[in-house]
Structure 1
Amino acid sequence: MATVAVQRLLGALRGLAGWWWGGEARETVDFHTLQDALLQLSGVIDLDGLRRAVEDAIGTIIPNVHSKAVYLLDLDSRQLRCHGNTLPVLPAEGIIQEAVSEQQCVTRPSPPAEDPVCRILQLRQGEQDRTVICFPVLDREGSDLLAILLISCSRPAQLHYDNLSLLGKHIATCYSRLKQVQIQSGGAMSHTPARRQDSGTIDTQAILQLCADLYDQDAPALQLKVIRYLQKVTRAECCLLLLVADDTAEFFCQVIGEHVLEEELRFPIDQSCLGHVVSSKKPVTLEDLDSKGKEELQSLVQHVQLGEIRSMLCIPVESKAAGNIVALACVFNKRDRLKFSSGDASQILTCFTYTSTVLTSTLAVQKERKLKLETQSMLQIAKNLFTHLDDVSVLLREIMQEARNLTHAERCSLFLVDKGRRELVAKVFDGVVADESELEKLRQELGPNHRRLSDVRVMNMNELRIPIDQGIAGHVATTGEILNIKDAYSHPLFYSGVDHSTGFRTRNILCFPIKNEGHDSEVIGSFLMGDNEEIVGVAELCNKINGPCFSTYDEELAQAFSIYCGISLVHSLLYKKVADAQHRSKLSNELMMYHMKVNEDETARLIVDKIPAITSIHPDVFVFSFTPRVIYDDQTTLCCLAMFEDMGMINRWRIQKETLVKFVLMVKKGYRDPPYHNWYHAFSVSHFCYLLYKNLRIDQLLTDVELFALFVACLCHDLDHRGTNNAFQVSSKSVLAALYSSEGSVLERHHFAQAMCILNTEGCNIFENLNKRDYEQALDLLQEIILATDLAHHLSAVKDLEAMAKEGYDKSNPRCHTLLTCLLMTSCDLSDQTKGWGTTKKIAELIYQEFFRQGDLEKSMGYRPHEMMDREKAFIPDLQISFLENIAMPLYRILGDLLPGSECVFQAVKANRDTWMQVRETAKRKPITHGNSFDFFKMLDEDDDNSLVNNGEGGKANH
């Protein structure tokens, strides 16, 4: 677009020029011709070449030039000079003086003959159509006069003045470059052209072609082209570029001569003989280096078999944008045994004037591409490591392999920290490891006082242990610092005895710590450092394969790699701990199930015998007032089977009789023997559920799966109850609290877990024939219903239950199903309060016996028990009345509202409340002595129950 605009402008100017010269068409300068003329200035290497280039440019950009002269500033004499002219030093007279003093262009048609400009331009009398232009050129700051351009031409146009202004700017730029060359080369800026054998005139076309060829996105390929160009123009046998990595303060070299290195060479700038060039920004030659520096350069060029270095020139390449040194261009061995000159330095500087930006940009792209590849590589490494978390040994081998591949190391050793013993442990070995006999031999050679090997132990040939404060690995483990040892044998911490034993030769070592940022030292046994850092292991890499030693770049890779190592190691060790805990838990469960093993004779008998009709067990089994605790223990299992049969669950769910028998017997075996929360409680709760089914037809309100889960939950809801409540589990920090306290309902969650344990026992899963959907729903319901036995859960749902009782039960609403099942479960759980006074009194005695045992235990632990648990403070009648009025009666009132026909249950509870109120009055007249509230029941037994109640149930319940 810009080119088209310029061409259009030039066309318009051609018309203007034709009008200026009386309608005669004149040849004007097109854009490309102007560009080529100005570009010639970029190739000059001295003032004489600059003068010739400017004269050629004037003749090109201004048509009909008759004569011209170019005066340039000589820096030594500070004079404007033009070699070869009749007046070599610019005279300060006439229009020249006017242009110099005003520092602006002066134009004179036919100047007077006495003006010195006529002599300079060789103007003759009578040439009245000639116009003289005196054009001053100032430096880029506009302060110093650099040149005067004197031109004789015919009728110059404005376009020509514009071209002269553009030429002046290029002269100032070129002058600045030549001045910089003079400063860097330490020589004078001469008007005399350099000899051809030193450098020759810069070939503009060649450098333009070089710039055109620098299209590679591959930095080594681009460098190779630049190096070939420099070798040609400086006539050097070899050339290389030492690129500067500012972030790591290193030189790195990718190409030497015609040879692209497979692995780039890297070495610290401050340790190189050419390091001072970066700070001084001045070139150096071979003569400026000492013998050690010459040896360093000789080893650097050994990759191309250059032979002995006879001459060398090193030029710093400066960034145009930032002004810092981005590379050092080094040329070696000038052909024909000549030395490199300032002309060669100028050639190199000119080359990088046009190529350094391309080079630095390509290196930046390469760096980003390399960073991307490193990131992808690290992600792949993370994937490889994290897929082996289940086996620490395999993971350690994988870490060692990845560490070798990443840094190109010959071998790798990996040690884990044993904080308890303050030792480093190697469980997986890479390469040759000395056995115990070899270590003992070395100990004898070293003597008893040598500690470096005396404490090394091989344990069962499966692991090697060394003290954490010894050796290179020990130093890294205790300090947390990375060690990059370039010469292992010269390092004081290195012990060469193992090399002598194994035959392995250690040249260099990179040892880095593996840290745990998760900070769980108790789990993994890590070694605590400062600043909340923990060392979990140490990796030790030996012998860089593709370089003389490990570089700073290798250190950075190792540090990044160690993060993934730490994460994977910590999680692998945690995984192993969890797996071990699961195995121990499985063994404990197996042991528990072994001791819960049911009687085989009883199992066989129940399987063979036909399940009897439930009425044959007791004729009043359908009545709400019936107390199931009157059924003998050996008949309770048979009664459970009969209830399953009578409710149609065996046929509906295709339950194998053997499975059902084993399940019921295992559940019975799963209950402990506290005074109240024992098997008889579970049996009574299940029986009340059966009563609800028989008398209130709850199967018409619930689905088959819900009814099945409800009945099973009644059997299992207090499995393995310890006779203490949830608050005690939490305050005593029991194992159950540790497992379940964060979720709440500690005991209820344990009861469900025990139920699942029984269901998962071989031959006990009564849900086994359910389809997948029913099976999942049954387990979810089982958990939900058992958790609902927590009274805290019930109390939180009371308002919703009352609302449902008021609005009516909606069978299509899942929320109503959930509320109803929870209500039924709580009603079954508290059903002992719905029986006659004799049963209620006996149950209260069992409950407070259990409560007071917990209170005594809390006192022994230094806790203050709740009043109802404290036998010295509890007033049982008040506690019972409060429980019935605040918990039981509201519960059964809601049940009566929802299920017509259950009003008798509420009335039974109310009658018991009234009886307790009468008992309270009696108890107040006969206060308890000796501070034991449990003696209240002895007093109650001594009273005539018939005087308190009219039902004759007395003390039927003995369980």
Structure 2
Amino acid sequence: MAPQQNIMKQLQQMQSSPYPSSSPSSTTVSQNNDNLNHNVHSLNNSSNNNNNNNNNNNNNNNNNNNNNNNNNNNNNNNNNNNNSINEKNKINDNNNRGNSDDGNNNNSNNNSNNNNSNNNNRDDEEEEGDDEDNNNNNNSNNNKIRGYNDNNDINDIFSINFSSWSKSKDNLIENGVLIFEESGLYKELNLSKSSILNFLSIVASSYRNNPFHSFNHAIAVTQTIFLILLKTNLFNILSPIEKLSIIIASICHDLDHPALSNRFQINMKSSIAVLYNNKSVLENHHLSICLGILESKIGNELLSTLTVEEKKQFFRRVKILILATDMENHFTYKKQFDDIISTFSWDNSEHRDLLLIMFLKSADISNELRSFDISNKWANALMEEFFNQSDLEKLNNLPLTPFMEREKVVLHLTQVSFIEKFLLPSYQSLQNLLPSLEDFVQRIIENKEIWSNNGSSSSTTSSSPN
């Protein structure tokens, strides 16, 4: 069996996650074993919870009215930002780009040579005049990914130096709304801004205030996906359902993360480890929370314009994408992707799925794409979580995770090791298929050199953020 068939067969055999009945409670160094038993909270099948959710939704709607006002201002500013990308680095595979298995049959070859929206656009004829005006504005501005040293635009979703550190939750939600809009999904799928605001609001509230695994991280990963699709011109090639799937999966991939790793859950015999049989424990938990939101009233409103077949393909992709973020399986996915590069076909839906998987896995560990000061902040945040976990492991007489021990971590060495072992090879593989990602590879190499020469002056880690 071909390598790509092996991995997709494995993906298809993964069980759909049952909805958990409780949620892991937050843990601190001072908590004892009883407090460390995480309970997974139910998002479905509870009338009491639904009533609470309805009350929360009403509050969210009130907040969203304010957000809409802010978004109107943002939209005015966004007229100066189009989502066109410098096309000097085109995809070198100009063969027939096949349609995905979503039934979207209008993704033709000429999509890579123009800036029109996807041929599957479902807009009413009334909106077409506005679209032409927007396209004219976009052409005149000719925006592209901002330069690496463009500090004035560091918070712009088009900037490689995007930073979510100083942003409030409302600001992050606004960034998420802009990513949906600039991705063309409003028009291609007739999504309403209010449904996206409601969805992002409930997602934001489902993340904990962890040092690293937070809503800030989720938006940073999603913005990296946005940049990758812009840089490679894949917004004109992927189907609307493929784009929606990877953006939703990016935003939701760490929902309710407890800031304690899979290994800790298994060694502690936590409730979610038992629930998921010690297999991709956190990833299954994140997926379960995600599915609960998507199948709630808010999720149904978001997906209300999708056909039955589109919903089927959407949910299938969200599942495989979130589960693939388990770093235990990193090298398996990497090898499978490398094996298909030479024969990659846009007509092959399995190839397309595996490409999306590599995008999300790479984006999840992509802090070294940012300027060094930003990546260093993320590294310190991750180390804070790691050191807290190590303290808990000692407190509970659990096996110690080597790269989390305060006394043993040599920060700049482990960072260089991680870049060389995980991050850089992932982007080099993507570059082999998509040459326009060369700039991203060079940025990673530059930051690796900084760690090699000056790592002792900064704190970071190389370990996987799972």
TM norm structure 1 = 0.34
Shift in alpha-carbon separation, 1:914–1:738, aligned structure 2, 3 A: same
1:863 aligns with 2:437: no
Alignment partner, residue 771 of structure 1: 307
Compute the displacement of 1:808 (Å): 4.7
Q: Distance in 2 between matches of 1:599 and 1:859?
A: 41
**Match for 1:802 among 320, 338, 347?**
338
- SS state at 1:629 partner: coil
- Which of 659, 668, 681 lines up with 2:195 in the alignment? 659
- Between structures 1 and 2, the one with greater strand share: 1
% same residue: 25
**Contact 2:334–2:358 (8 Å) recurs in 1:** no
CA shift, 1:658, in A, is: 2.0
1:907 aligns with 2:442: yes
- 1:603 is matched by which residue type in structure 2? N
1:720 match: 256
> Structure 1 residue 605 and structure 2 residue 66: aligned?
yes
Higher RCO (C-alpha 8 Å, min separation 6): 2
Aligned residues: 343
Conserved? CA contact 2:60–2:198, under 8 Å:
no
User: Which AA in structure 2 matches 1:843?
Assistant: W
Structure 1 residues 746 and 589 mapped into 2: Cα distance closer, same or farther (>3 Å)? Answer: farther
Letter in 2 for 1:798: K
Letter aligned with residue 262 of structure 2: N
Q: Map 1:439-588 to 2 at 5 A.
A: 586=46
User: Greater helix share, 1 or 2?
Assistant: 2
- Determine which of 304, 318, 323 is the counterpart of 1:787: 323
- Equivalents in 2 of 1:703, 1:877: separation in Å? 41
**8 A Cα contact 2:153 2:159, kept in partner:** no
> In the alignment, which of 410, 419, 441 is matched to residue 875 of structure 1?
410
SS in 1 for 2:46: helix
Check 1:594–1:720 CA distance in 2 against 1; reply closer, same or farther (3 A cut): farther
Q: Distance in 2 between matches of 1:701 and 1:652?
A: 13
Aligned counterpart for 2:272 among listed residues 732, 736, 745? 736
Partners in 2 of 1:631 and 1:615 — Cα distance?
24
1:821 maps onto 2:356 in alignment: yes
Aligned to 1:689: 225
Give structure 1 regions of 4+ aligned residues with deviation exceeding 4 angstroms: 581-585, 594-598, 615-620
Query: Compared with structure 1, are the counterparts of its residues 600 and 706 closer, same or farther at alpha carbon in structure 2 (3 Å cutoff)?
Result: closer
Q: How far did residue 801 of structure 1 move?
A: 1.5
Q: Is residue 2:206 matched to residue 1:670?
A: yes
Q: Secondary structure at the match of 1:635?
A: helix
Change (3 A) 1:855 1:591: farther
Whole-angstrom distance in 2 between the partners of 1:756 and 1:720: 13
C-alpha deviation, 1:584, in angstroms? 9.7
1:749 counterpart residue number: 284
Deviation for aligned residue 1:815: 2.0
1:492-528 deviations in Å (ceiling 9; x for gaps): xxxxxxxxxxxxxxxxxxxxxxxxxxxxxxxxxxxxx
Q: Name 1:834's counterpart in structure 2.
A: 369
How far did residue 810 of structure 1 move?
0.6
2:43–2:292 Cα contact (<8 Å) kept? no
Q: CA deviation at 1:701?
A: 4.2
Give how far 1:606 is off.
2.7
Q: Would you say the 8 A contact 1:637–1:665 is kept in 2? A: yes
Give, in whole Å, the separation in 2 of the partners of 1:873 and 1:761: 45
Kindly provide the CA deviation profile for residues 95-120 of structure 1, in whole angstroms up to 9, marking residues without a partner as x: xxxxxxxxxxxxxxxxxxxxxxxxxx
Q: How far did residue 624 of structure 1 move?
A: 5.2
Q: Cα–Cα, structure 1 residues 798 and 658, in superposed 2: closer, same or farther, change >3 Å?
A: same
2-structure distance, mates of 1:585, 1:852: 37
In the alignment, which residue of structure 2 is the partner of 1:843?
A: 378
3-state SS of 1:628 partner: coil
Q: Which moved more, 1:647-656 or 1:780-789?
A: 647-656
Aligned with 2:425 (options 884, 890, 906):
890
Task: Tell me the amino acid that sits aligned with residue 424 of structure 2.
Answer: M
* Aligned residue type for 1:790: D
- Shift of the 660–836 alpha-carbon distance from structure 1 to 2, 3 Å rule, reads same
**Partners of 1:596 and 1:669 within 8 A in 2:** no
- Give CA deviations for 1:346-394 in whole Å, capped at 9, x if unaligned: xxxxxxxxxxxxxxxxxxxxxxxxxxxxxxxxxxxxxxxxxxxxxxxxx
Q: Distance in 2 between matches of 1:624 and 1:903?
A: 16
Q: Within 5 Å, which residues of 2 pair with 1:128-143?
A: none
1:916 to 427, 451, 454: 451
Q: 1:588 to 1:875 in 2, by over 3 A?
A: farther
Q: In structure 1, how many angstroms separate the alpha carbons of the residues matched to 2:251 and 2:370?
A: 19
**Residue matched to 1:128:** none
Report the CA distance shift for 1:582/1:749 in structure 2 as closer, same or farther (over 3 A): closer
Unaligned runs of 5+ in 1: 1-580, 924-935, 941-959
Question: How much has 1:738 moved relative to structure 2?
Answer: 1.7
Structure 1 residue 615: deviation in Å?
6.9
Q: Do the aligned partners of 2:428 and 2:441 also contact (CA within 8 Å) in 1?
A: yes
- Secondary structure at the aligned position of 2:435 is classed as coil
Is residue 163 of structure 2 the alignment partner of residue 628 of structure 1? Answer: yes
What SS does the corresponding residue of 2:172 show, helix, strand or coil?
helix
- Flag structure 2 segments of 5+ consecutive residues without an equivalent: 1-40, 82-151, 461-466
Distance 1:835 1:582 in 2: 36
Pair 1:588–1:886, CA change in 2 (3 A): farther
Q: Could you tell me how far apart the structure 2 residues matched to 1:592 and 1:824 are?
A: 36
Distance 1:591 1:884 in 2: 47
Q: CA deviation at 1:625?
A: 2.6
Q: CA deviation at 1:589?
A: 4.6
Check conservation: 2:157, 2:223, Cα contact below 8 A: no
Which secondary structure does the structure 2 equivalent of 1:763 belong to?
helix
Aligned residue number for residue 646 of structure 1: 182
Counterpart CA distance in 2 for 1:591 and 1:873 is 49
Higher Rg: 1
